[in-house]
Amino acid sequence: REIDENRKALKNLNKGDEPAPVGNYNQRKEDEENILEKLTKQLQELASTISGENITQYEDDSSDEQPSNKEYIAVGDFAAQLRGDLAFKKDEILLILEKKPDGWWIAKNIHGNKGLVPKTYLEPCVKKEDDQEYSEEESEEDVEINTIDVLTSMGAIPAGFRPSMLFQLLEEGNQFQASCFLQPELTPSQLAFKDMIWDPEKGTIKPRPSRVSLILTLWSCKMIPLPGVSLQILSRHIRLCLFDGSKVLSNIHTVRATWQPKKPKTWTFSPRVTGILPCLLDGDCFIRSNSSSPDLGILFEVGISYVRNSTGEKGELSCGWDFLKLFDANGIPIPPKTYELYLNGGTPYEKGIEVDPSVSRRGISVFHQMMTMRRQPQLLVKLRSLNRRSRSILSLLPETLIGNMCYIHLLVFYREILGDVLLKDRKSMQNADLISSPVLATFPKLMEQPDLMDALRTAWAEKESTLKRSEKRDREFLKSMFIVVYHDCVYPLLHSTLLPPFRWAEEETEATRWKVINDFLKQNQENSGALHALLSPEGVHEPFDISEQAYDFLGEARKSGK
């Protein structure tokens, strides 16, 4: 601007305005005008260069900030719980300024207000092209997660609920089922058994101590959040397994909880019932592991099975989890006592997620924190020390296994019969022929059908009550009686078409199965065995398969290190 003013003033000057005579005035004036014109062009070029650099730098900054400064849309309403939280409504657009690892992000709304928001209430704003491409690649797991997001946005479940991780592992195959871990384990050479050694002096398998051998009692769960009325709960339960912080190291064991309508947020285990307690409700669990991991512990996942009233869609939710490490920093086992475990939200691979953000632990004052802790979801468990008898019984089981104490004596029978057949009665240790033994071929299936395990427990308890004291001390006689009871009780039911397949958390199926089982047991008791029921025209059985009789130990055995 100053150059233009000088140029304008120069044009208005004439020779008479000079304070002193100037020779060649017109030429001097033209030269000065050229200098001003040249300066003008140089300044314009410089300004253009500076402007281009600013644009480039702005674009670079924008590209750097794009991953964090991204627009998200709210999938539900969120009311600020603490000072510093940013409230928002459903479908509101938020600009994310910083993503924190605890799940609380710093966001800014359209009014310029900033604050903390839970990431579980947000989803990225995507273009239609991106949305179409995403929908084509969407997997079943993504569909389930989206269902959880929808339920969360509707307020049907708390923000910390997730699809059950342990249930998904169980659905992938038998790798984490008890029936797999009950099978004998081969050495790396596959020429011998790692966890079964014969004791010729006692005529049975040798006891095998393990690094972890304990009894765990599940007491109760408190302050478990309730889902909304749009969900019907089919089962309340806990799934537990051995875990090292990164992977599951044992079978996944499930215990169903009971509850009272007056206290729906409190779950209990091992209720007092008449007769034999169903093993599915038994909160006394044995745990064995020979893992050398310093981070070995028990992973608890509190969960529910549900059905959506509007769509009939079924699913499994984790209502919180916790991890009880079994050894301290020095490798010393933790003491046997009652542990009060506060549940975390999210999955075991997410940190800092709360089950229900409306009951936040992030208190401003100590008093506020104390008050909120009383409303936090928690699980009470007790580790019990072993007496001599319990220790000797557990030492006969596989090195890694979790199960119920109520049927541990049946597992010992199975292991002893397995030892007799594989280590004592086999023609040679190199013989790998199929073995004719219905018990060995089918018993592991009972681990995944708890109602059949209850039937076997009931039948064996009735048989045992008729035995003499001397017969109860004869281990060989007891094993022979156990085989007879097994053949008369559950073996025919495993292949009966009257018994519908076992389905988890289906009340109608469970009731039908138990009626068939109960009627069969009554008929056996009246006719002194299963022969009458097997020959009856009313009893229809599945086509015979060799796997009902033949035990293929090489095919069933676990490989060392699995």
Task: Return per-residue pLDDT of the chain as tens, 562 residues.
Answer: 555 666 666 566 665 665 555 556 676 667 777 776 776 766 666 655 554 444 444 344 444 434 445 788 888 788 887 788 898 888 888 999 988 877 788 999 888 889 988 887 888 876 544 455 444 444 555 555 577 878 887 788 998 999 999 999 999 889 999 999 999 998 888 888 998 999 999 999 999 999 999 999 999 999 999 998 999 999 999 999 999 999 999 999 999 999 999 999 999 998 766 567 899 999 999 999 999 999 999 999 999 999 999 889 999 999 999 999 999 999 999 999 999 999 999 999 988 899 988 776 555 556 556 667 778 999 999 999 899 999 999 999 999 999 999 999 999 999 999 999 999 988 888 888 899 999 999 999 999 999 999 999 999 999 999 999 999 999 999 999 999 999 999 999 999 999 999 999 999 999 999 999 999 999 888 888 888 877 877 777 888 889 899 999 888 877 665 4
Identify the pLDDT of residue 6: 61
Domain-embedded: residue 16? no
Give dist(CA 110, CA 171) in Å, integer: 44
Single residue among 360, 389, 418 that ends a domain in this structure: 389
Are residue 379 and residue 432 in the same domain, yes or no? no
Q: Is pTM beyond 0.85 here?
A: no
pLDDT at residue 61, as a whole number: 43
At residue 153, the pLDDT reads 77
Query: What CATH number has the domain bearing residue 351?
Result: 2.60.40.150
**Which residues 6+ apart lie within 8 Å of 544 measured at CB?**
none
Tell me which DSSP letter residue 176 carries: T
Q: Whole-angstrom Cα distance, residue 439 to residue 489?
A: 11
Q: Are residues 375 and 457 in the same domain?
A: no
Stretch (H or E) spanning 441: helix 438-442
Assess whether 385 and 411 both reside in one domain: no
Helices and strands in the chain, H and E counts = 17, 23
Q: Are residues 300 and 223 in the same domain?
A: yes
Contact predicate 181/252, CB 8 Å: no
Could you tell me the CATH number of the domain that includes residue 94? 2.30.30.40
What does the pLDDT read at residue 464?
Answer: 95
Instruction: Give yes or no for a contact between 241 and 299, defined as CB atoms under 8 angstroms apart.
Output: yes
* Whether 255 contacts 381, CB under 8 Å: no
Is residue 395 assigned to a domain?
no
Domain presence at residue 133:
no
Cα 549 from chain centre: 36
Are residue 120 and residue 228 in the same domain, yes or no?
no
Contact (Cβ atoms closer than 8 angstroms) between residue 423 and residue 196: yes
Are the C-beta atoms of residues 396 and 417 closer than 8 Å to each other?
A: no
Kindly state whether residue 470 falls inside one of the protein's structural domains. Answer: yes
Assess whether 516 and 448 both reside in one domain: yes
The alpha-carbon radius of gyration of the chain (Å, integer) is 37
Q: Are residues 107 and 213 in the same domain?
A: no
- Domain match, 115 and 159 both: no
Domain boundary among 356, 389, 422: 389
Host domain of residue 320? 149-389
Name beta bridge partners: 308. Answer: 231
How far is residue 379's CA from residue 240's CA, in Å, rounded to a whole number? Answer: 12
Euclidean distance between CA atoms 422 and 433, whole angstroms = 11
Inter-residue contact 81 to 357 (CB < 8 Å):
yes
- How many CB atoms lie under 10 A from the CB of residue 198? 16
Q: In this structure, is residue 451 part of a structural domain?
A: yes
Helix (H, G, I), strand (E, B) or coil at 546: helix
pLDDT at res. 90: 84
Question: Cβ of 553: how many Cβ atoms within 10 Å?
Answer: 21
**In a shared domain, residues 374 and 510:** no
Number of domains in the chain: 3
> Quick count: other Cβ atoms within 10 Å of Cβ 415?
19
CA atoms within 13 A on the CB side of 469: 0
In this predicted structure, what is the pLDDT of residue 544? 85
- The answer to whether position 452 is within a domain reads yes
Residue 31: count other Cβ atoms within 10 Å of its Cβ.
Answer: 11
Note whether 353 and 475 are same-domain residues.
Answer: no
pLDDT at 74: 87
| Domain contains 207 | yes
Residue written as token pair 């969960």: 303
What's the pLDDT at 371? 65
Phi/psi of residue 128, each to 5°?
Answer: -65, -40
Rounded Cα distance between 465 and 471, Å, is 11
Whether residue 89 sits in one domain with residue 199: no
| Residue 23: predicted pLDDT | 59
pLDDT at 20: 52
In contact, 398 and 182? CB cutoff 8 Å: yes
Output phi, psi for 435, to 5 deg: -110, 130
Q: Which of 389, 424, 458 is the last residue of a domain?
A: 389
DSSP string for 236-292? EEEEEEEE-SSSB-S--EEEE-EEETTEEEEEE-S---SSSPPGGG--EEEEEE---
- What tokens does 283 get? 């909160």
Angle at 161 between CA 156 and CA 167, to 5 degrees: 115
**Which residues are bridge partners to 281 per DSSP?**
none
Query: Percent helix, strand and coil across the chain, each rounded to 5?
Result: 40, 25, 40
Q: How far is CA 84 from CA 27, 74, 75, 97, 188, in A?
A: 73, 18, 21, 14, 58
pLDDT for 110 equals 85
Query: Is residue 19 situated within a structural domain?
Result: no
For every residue of 58-114, DSSP letters joined together read: HHHHHHHHTTTSEEEEESS-B---STTB--B-TT-EEEEEE--TTSEEEEE-TTS-E
Three-state SS across 1-22? CHHHHHHHHHHHCCHHHCCCCC
Say what the pLDDT of residue 555 is. Answer: 86
Report how far Cα 555 is from the mean position of its chain's Cα atoms: 29
| One domain, residues 353 and 238 | yes
